[in-house]
Structure 1
Amino acid sequence: MSAVSVVDADRDPEGTGLRTIDELATAAGLTVRTTRYYASLGLLPPPARRGRMAWYDDTHLARLEMIRALQGHGFSLQAVEGFLSSLPEDAGVEELAVQRAMLTSWTVGAPQEFSRRQLDQHAGRRLSDDEIALIEELGMVHRSGDEGAERFTPVHGFDVAVALLDLDIPVSGMRLAGEAISHHMSALAGDLTVILRDEVIEPWRREQNHSRDEAAQLEGTLARLRQLTLDAIVSAFRRSANDVIARSLHRR
């Protein structure tokens, strides 16, 4: 990452938007220790210097907000580090806001990791080894750790998978349904992401000199758009299901 230009030693930084490490940490909602740790990993560009004082600008704050947002959506620090290293060295506040909005637009919260006992509590009943294996096969829970000290991370849809286990339907049917849903949802998510980028993000990006408030407004708009999109998907599926039923009745 390129260094921020050095502040003139004779210039008073007050009023320029620059912050000390303490002020930066407070603005980002982090401790100074955590902020220094992120900086030591290279997640922040070097600060500006005025004598022996280090000063941080809005770009530093935007990067910290990016880290917090991505971690809050379940991304590991290693994944965040890899992503930040791929950004242009001169990426500013606006670009960071756009990237953060794109990455978090469809995600809906950080996943939780459970022990086996906690997983049963989360499911509301005791799950057998075979049931957990099936839910894992359906992609609704991820397993990690060594045998005897395994950890389980349910993903969205875990509760649905548990409810399906209580129905008297063939396991083969559950597998086929899971494969169909996964296939079509992956394709749909890809198409919607392209539309979001081309029709919403890129036009916004072409407008110059957005403020931090405007960047925050964009992120809020995308969060609302996410919910409306999910509602539209459910409604569209219901319409399609009704069309299938209507065609079936017509043929009969």
Structure 2
Amino acid sequence: MAEYRVDELARLAGTTVGNVRVYQDRELLPPPERRGRVALYSDAHLARLRVILGLLKRGYTFAQIRELLTTWQSGRDLEDLLGLEQVLSLPWSDEPTERIALADLLAEFSHHGVDTEVIARLVRLGLFTHDGAAHVLVRSPRLLHAGRELLAAGVPLTALLEIAEQVRRHTDQLAAMFLRMVDEHVVPGRDTGWTPSGDEMPQLTQQASRLRPLAQSVVTAFLAKSMSRALSDWLTERFGPLFQQHYPER
């Protein structure tokens, strides 16, 4: 099992060291293992921390989260519970977050019109989170790289932000659609207060772990087909006469 210092734990979970301390003080996160002066956290801590962050994002209070976790664990096998926690809370992307100084980010992109208002817009999109007053955590370095490439290709910042917001809305709708399918067909007939029993936990964990690659495969396959069709139509519309001129036999 992996071991993390508190700064590594916070970075992997996408939060701050200060928040980790707060969750420990509120008894939401178990204490770390002590080895002399070094405090070490495990994968179980990381999974629990991601659950806490997810519940906070959905509007739960500290008291509600503590009660939920206590109720969930009561009478259930802790190993099964942690396995389910890890499956449900692990990010759907394996790319690590990247910590960047806000001043460096503004300096790099200022000629494209990036300012503090744009940074705030990217935070609302979920692409960045603030890490103190002087740094941001880039949630997806791959998306940041794509943004760099598109800006360099001549796409204006306003158009790029509009596309990002549209894609975010559509992917949110896709995610909600997949979860409705799970509600209707995988765990049908369960009320909102239901929690899995010890016998149900392993099966639910397996089903949840299978949902990730299946959902990603479906979206990737359809996007590839849609891009292929759209690109073919675009080429015909934009360059069809040119192709006919040079290749009349086609």
Q: TM-score range by the shorter chain?
A: 0.5 to 0.7
Distance 1:112 1:161 in 2: 15
The offset of 1:154, in angstroms, is: 0.5
Matching residue of 2:53: 75
Answer whether contact 2:84 2:204 (CA < 8 A) is retained: no
Percentage identity across aligned positions? 15
Distance 1:198 1:106 in 2: 24
The offset of 1:43, in angstroms, is: 3.4
Number of residue equivalences: 191
Q: 1:237 aligns with which of 191, 205, 223?
A: 223
Distance 1:131 1:71 in 2: 32
Answer whether contact 1:143 1:153 (CA < 8 A) is retained: yes
Q: How does 1:151-230 map to 2 (within 5 A)?
A: 151-156=135-140, 157-201=143-187, 209-210=198-199, 215=202, 218-219=204-205, 222-230=208-216
Residue 169 of structure 1: SS of its match in structure 2? coil
Distance 2:153 2:54 in 1: 36
Matched, 1:84 2:65: yes
Matched, 1:142 2:129: yes
Write 1 or 2 for the structure with the bigger share of helix.
2
Distance 1:223 1:43 in 2: 25
Answer whether contact 1:101 1:222 (CA < 8 A) is retained: no
Answer whether contact 2:47 2:86 (CA < 8 A) is retained: no
Matching residue of 1:127: 108
Distance 1:101 1:203 in 2: 25
Aligned pair in 2 of structure 1 residues 40, 168: CA closer, same or farther (>3 Å)?
closer
Matched, 1:100 2:85: yes
Answer whether contact 2:51 2:85 (CA < 8 A) is retained: no
Distance 2:157 2:83 in 1: 43
Matching residue of 1:10: none
Answer whether contact 2:84 2:205 (CA < 8 A) is retained: no
Aligned pair in 2 of structure 1 residues 98, 202: CA closer, same or farther (>3 Å)?
farther
Distance 1:203 1:165 in 2: 49
RMSD: 4.9
Residue 43 of structure 1: SS of its match in structure 2? coil
TM-score normalised by the chain length of structure 2: 0.52
